[in-house]
Amino acid sequence: MIAVENIHKSFGEAHILKGITARFEKGKTNLIIGQSGSGKTVFLKTLLGLFTPEQGSIAYDGKLYSELTGDEKRNLRQEMGMVFQGSALFDSMTVEGNVRFPLEMFTKQSKSEMQDRIDFVLKRVNLIDAHHKYPSEISGGMQKRVAIARAIVMNPKYLFCDEPNSGLDPKTAILIDNLIQEITEEYDITTVINTHDMNSVMEIGKKIIFLKNGLKEWEGSNKEIFKTDNKAVTDFVYSSELFKKVRQMYIEERN
């Protein structure tokens, strides 16, 4: 579980995060949604320890980040997996090489231990025949699977995903969402996902934090988001005609 209290982050005069308090639960897919520029990426990077907030606190499973020693902070970083927007694979490395990279960087495992772990995580993300291919030789959906395999190879307690669906067709996007959800539940990971994708909200939004202008405007689940009368949330969720119709049907059914 990650508990955030009153987080503020500015860049010069620009006050981006204006006092966010939130909890991200273990074994759940926690989604951060909000319009472009609302501060989602800055928030995610702050949770990852890439940005230092000027005010407020973050506790990882009860341990306050500000009270950790340098070694403890390094250990914590190794417990964090990250799936970047656009996969961010190393083009010059094979699928296996990409997944091996964190193991070589951060562990002293033998070659055979590494190979066992690589085989295990690639199988877990349903990539069996792609070990020796290069990123340019596989599809976008397969690249995401490699990025997920690389993110979980160190057995993380925390998994952060920035727009994991960007660039994927809707069907592949749902498969990737479901994979992230299954892995989160199976390994009891605290997963935080930044997304614009309303399909993701509906499919895996077990807990949703809606940001507006650097503040938490609303929180709830995918079931609750359809019932809310919060105008900022409904404007965001129902900006598409399809979702407007879904809401209308929901309201008609309710009456």
Ligand X SMILES: Nc1ncnc2c1ncn2[C@@H]1O[C@H](COP(=O)(O)OP(=O)(O)OP(=O)(O)O)[C@@H](O)[C@H]1O
Q: Which is nearer to ligand X, 118 or 147 (CB)?
A: 147
Dihedral pair phi/psi, residue 190, rounded to 5°: -90, 105
70 within 8 A of 25, measured Cβ to Cβ: no
Q: Which is nearer to ligand X, 191 or 194 (CB)?
A: 194
Nearest-approach distance from CB 174 to ligand X, in angstroms: 20
Pick the stretch among 34-42, 69-77, 110-118, 217-225 that binds ligand X (CB under 6 A): 34-42
Pick the stretch among 23-31, 37-45, 97-105, 215-223 that binds ligand X (CB under 6 A): 37-45
Alpha-carbon span 44 to 36, nearest angstrom: 14
Nearest-approach distance from CB 161 to ligand X, in angstroms: 13
- Rounded (5°) CA angle 185-190-192: 110
**Would you call 201 helix, strand, or coil by DSSP?**
helix
Residue 39 binds ligand X, judged by CB under 6 A = yes
Structural element, H or E, at residue 175: helix 170-186
Among 40, 100, 117, 145, binds ligand X (CB under 6 A): 40
DSSP structure string for 64-77:
EGGG--HHHHHHHH
Residue 37 binds ligand X, judged by CB under 6 A = yes
Nearest-approach distance from CB 7 to ligand X, in angstroms: 13
Among 20, 31, 33, 42, binds ligand X (CB under 6 A): 42
Burial class of residue 190 (count of CB atoms within 10 Å of its CB; 0-12, 13-18, 19+): buried
How many residues lie near ligand X (CB under 6 A)?
11
Pick the stretch among 33-41, 112-120, 128-136, 182-190 that binds ligand X (CB under 6 A): 33-41
Alpha-carbon span 228 to 240, nearest angstrom: 17
Q: In sequence order, which residues have a C-beta less than 8 Å from that of residue 230 and are 6 or more positions away? A: 210, 217, 218
Residue 164 binds ligand X, judged by CB under 6 A = no
Dihedral pair phi/psi, residue 105, rounded to 5°: -70, -40
Structure token pair of residue 254 = 């309710």
Other Cβ atoms closer than 10 A to 222: 18
Interface with ligand X in residues 9-28 (CB under 6 A):
11, 14, 16
Structure token pair of residue 64 = 């306050």
Pick the stretch among 8-16, 88-96, 121-129, 221-229 that binds ligand X (CB under 6 A): 8-16
Residue 216 binds ligand X, judged by CB under 6 A = no
Among 20, 34, 164, 192, binds ligand X (CB under 6 A): 34
Q: Which is nearer to ligand X, 38 or 143 (CB)?
A: 38
Nearest-approach distance from CB 34 to ligand X, in angstroms: 6
Q: List contacts with ligand X (CB under 6 A).
A: 11, 14, 16, 34, 36-42
